[in-house]
Structure 1
Amino acid sequence: MPRNIWLMAISLSVIIVLLSNAAYYFLTKQTLEDALNHEMRAVAKQIEFSVEQSRLGAEKFQDQIGRELRVAAIAAQYALDPDVEKVTNEQLKELSAKLGVEHITLMKRTADNIILYKSSDENELGKGTKTWDPWYVAFNQLFDQHEVSIDWLGQTLPNFWSGPFEVASTDPDSIYKWGYYHDGTTNYIIDPYVSYRTLADYEKLTGIDELIDKSIKSSDSLLEATVFNPTTLGKGSFDTVNEDGKLQGHLLQKDIFYGTYRYQDDGDIGHVTKAFATGTSISVNEKINGKHVLKLFIPVSTGSEGVNLVDENGNPIHGYVLSLVSDYQVIQDRLDAQFLNIGIVIFLVTGISLVVALVAMRYFRQTREKVVEVTQQTYVDEINSMFQSIRAQRHDFLNHVQTIHSLAELNKSKELVAYTKELTGEIRLMNDIINIGNPAIAALIRSKISQAESYRIAFSCSFSGLNRLEMGLKTLDVNRMLGNLIDNAFDEVMKYAEGCREVELTGSQMEDYLEFCIRNTCSNAREVTAKPLFEAGFTTKDDAHQGLGLFTVKSITEKYRGTIQVITEDEGIITFYIRIPH
């Protein structure tokens, strides 16, 4: 039985350790994911700050370029004839070189169009602008009222308007920024423009892409960073065909502002759109290109319309979405490293626990064997004591016979009767003890009878059927119960005069149960029965007693699913009934 208990305890410990490890695994995993998420957000903040600085700087830089284009246009106005017919393309080539612009084009208004009439760029000549919406509206406003008031991107100054950098309709492979000036003193709009190289050099100096590359290289987990246009992502190309039949792209409607987009997934469009619409970040676990990654989509609000932030229709938008891709394997590697350490600790702790358990089992076994040995020794001593009494009776038998013979010869009939009565009482008592049928219980009763004689206690006992009681632990428990009950009764009756010291014990083995009953003198029996007699530590005696006797009796009784009762049938008598089923 104890071995099974130890096995159950060890098994339960192993299950608890496994459950604890599982809980720790998922808790650690969640903690690492939160840490990685926090790290990605910190990097995102840095990139977001740089993007905003660069974007705002680019807007200011474009405004400065616009002002310089206006200055160049005014300078060209003073250098050129106010009549477009009197201006030559060669003059424009020479003037654009002097003013430091890419080209200068003069725009003439016709009955139904505004055409690029004269230019230092031969590709511009003769091209109409009627299909350039909303640029064409701005051109007409300049011709009509010299001020542009369209609700679209661009820079408006007195008699001047400039749009953002865009792909040229006359040269789809080039990106320019144009400025348009008309104050009414000429019959044409002066259009100087510069190449995108100017802005590209600036953006290179601000280093957004370089910052992204450095962030990726300095991070253990960051794989990619992308700045998305949430309104154009996934909507395909916005290229158009110009008047020459060539495919013309549009810079403003591009779906990626900065970074790379190698880790693509079908759900990205939905995540970007949702993040931008709700203004909340979205985090997803995905497997892309054979790699487990953690993707974070962070909406960024610019607070104002940016010159380079437009939707598919060219209308300004107020933000973008920053996406970061992190290697989830970093979390797994950290988990593996931690659990390797934990595994070593668990192995050591388990080993130590097993050693402690083995030592405890060995100690328990030795203690139990020692208790059994002491009990057996007590049992042997009590049996020997009983047999010694029997041998003493047999040894004294001749003396008893001689004494009886002498009393008979002397006609001492009264003395003879008294002597034989005392002798037969001792023999009957010994026979009653022997007839108990259980040597261990008989030995206990014999020792208690001797103890009662020395205390001047009238101790009577009777047993029936105990010869069917099995030897072993059950007999040991019976002796513990009887021993504690008898000792408790002896302690109680010793409070009274010698003539009142009465203790009676009966025991019987029935078909379905074993029953014991012990009665003893107790002057305040009704008061005693109202007290918690069976609680550990409770005692009605002096402080020398620990109050464990009756508690032990009750514990053994309940161990065998038995019952114990305390009653006061007669005044001055207390009775304990024990019944144990079998």
Structure 2
Amino acid sequence: MIKDQEKQMELLVKEISIAIDHSQIGVESLENQVGEKLRTAAIAAQSMLNPDINKVTNEQLAKLSEKLGVSHITLMVKEKDDIRGVKSSDPHERNLSTKEWDYWYTAFQQLYLHKNVSISQGQKLPNYWSGPMNISASNPNHVDKWGYYYDGTTNYIISPYMRDNQIMDVQDHIGPDAIVKKTLRDNATLLNIVGFNPQTFGFSPVYTEQNGKRFIELGNKDIQFGQYKYKDKTADISAVRKANKTGELVSFQSNFGNKKVLKSFISVPSQKPYVIGIVTDYNVIQEVLNKQLLNSLIISIIVLVFVFIVSYFLARYIVRPINQILLKVNEIAKGNFGEQVLVERSDELGLLSNQVNTMSLNLLHYTDELKKKNKEIQYHAYYDFLTGLPNLRFFNEAASKLASLNNNRPMAFLFLDLDRFKFINDTFGHATGNAILKAVTNRISCLLKEGEMLSRIGGDEFILLLPNTGREAAGDMAQTILKELEKPFVHEGNGFFITSSIGISMYPIDSENVEDVIKNADIAMYRAKEQGRNNHQFYTSDMNDLIQRRAVLEKGMRQALERNEFTLFYQPKVDINTGMIIGNEALIRWCHPKLGMISPAEFIPLAEETGLIVSIGEWVLRTACKQNQEWQKSGFPEMSISVNLSPRQFQQVNLVELVNEVLSDIGLDPQYLELEITESIAMYNEHYVIDKLHALKNLGVKIAIDDFGTGYSSLSYLKKFPIHILKIDQSFIKDIEAGSDDTKIITTIIAMAHNLKVKVIAEGVETDEQLQFLQQQKCDEIQGYLFSKPLSVEEYNRMFEEVQEAARIKINTSSL
């Protein structure tokens, strides 16, 4: 009887395993489709985002995730020996480390090296890898799927993520647990059916740690299906491993309270083998054995015949419709969505058939929607979302194809960048900026002939392709565009004046490679910027030298702080009434190890553009404050130190905290620190500037407006902003002559500042005549070569008394 029971268990296991294998095919097909959708979303996201991660915001990623229909998008970058999630639409995914993620981290490294991912897990496509689906350890009612895309055109890996309940729904309807429940309902002898993973059962669960959350990969669960009841852990672990190793059925009896059971463990060979454990009520078996002993041989034969007949018809009644259902499920798993099961019954199998039919129709609807979505994603992968113009990917492909068919006939590439467009976005908002971009697109598009193509490649940059066009015609087109843009743009009652800098490169004269021609046009555009904007420049080979020098400076500047190549010089400021040195301005200098001394006029704009000005500016602030504190400790008179703040530094959210931290660390009284800002900073955003200046003033530091008179020179912000000092730009001081316009301007500035209770300092004072004029106008402080050039710390320590005495004599002599 026991042997017969074991044979039945083997047959039952075969039926269950077949049903499970077919259900898994459907789940794997759904997982692959989710992975492919994530790849399509990643490609579309790449086309809509700036390739530089520093120019992408978390808010952009949040909007893009909603648009592309994914849960969230994360951008990952390589940092030393780690690959980190830096930007994300989900705050929990930011700043997470992946170097402890085992084979996931291996896959990320291979993507960065442009290699095909070689690990066995997950879904592998060109430039793409999608890790296995995970189940959240805290919420097992859904599965999570990540995709990772990198083709080398960005400095980050794009990782869209999707949380999906549909696979769990499919498993609930036709998965292993559903099959087990049906089998248990139909056989009262069976008490429990469980699927064990022999690789993990008896070991600690295999979790994936991600930013504080734990996930279990579907293939790493120790209990694959069913509920693990009637636990005899030690004996069960031994039986599972033995059954998996030998491939033979392993059975043993066990007692649970007053219930005696028979446990059977059978290994199921598959891609990932598992062991099915079946618990049978042994009392039922014992009763049958007792009846066999009491009944005669004839009755036993009749019973066996009867059981055989009943089993035959029962099998036809149950197994046949199950086979029909499994056949259709197999068709659905192959991608034939919409297939229907024709089992018209009112029992559980009929209900299961209806559920399979519903799943099939849902999959058909899901794939149809996915196809529609893919068409939209495909469009956005090649066209700019805002203007509808071709993007850089489309432009490169079209230009390369045209070049291959053009037989080396000339083509012109015009690279356009709108001048100071950031000011419009910062002042009037991105909605206004977007409206202006659309209007610019319409104006330029109206100038195009058939075959000419305009593309927006990001931000306020456009590129124009003019086939069969020579140098002269290209220059004429650039001039036409510049004149067309000179007309004011009107939006919501406001007039905007837009200019553009245009760089022109000729194919095949400047290069026979389209990408190089585009790069050359970009270089020429920067030359147009340097020439004062609102003009066009043709590419020349010597421009590469400037770009190379720029690259050398940028690379060197990233290491200059570590190598102590920067130094500060200090220029004294003198009280015009007493002749006493009352402060110093800190001026940065850079001695490049190969190029020698680099002018601040050359490297400061580059540092501002690259963002390096933030770390450099912090070094200047800390170094200047420390030096001033050392001077005070060594017996010098108490003097203020002036430090210039760049526009990017001023926009730092933590600027006030940083200044307070530096003063606290060094122990310098805030009254001895002056922060100089330019008029352009003052006009950046009125409410933002006012709040930040008040916060700095509350620390006790002084605020000065530098280069006053060369920018906006607005009386309104002088009244609103909590400033202490105005610095008259040296361009006015240089041309001081009696009755000149410059002297009138200086006189007006001093009078206006004094009426507002603001001190005035004149910089660039070099002659006695200039000093006398400033004394007559009651200027408060002066600074310039008349007293001292900028001095190194060593020169300052050595020459202070000499400079102080000379300044006192000049002030007293001039005032006589």
Structure-2-length-normalised TM-score: 0.34
Greater relative CO, 1 or 2 (CA 8 Å, sep 6+): 1
TM-score (norm 1): 0.48
Larger radius of gyration: 1
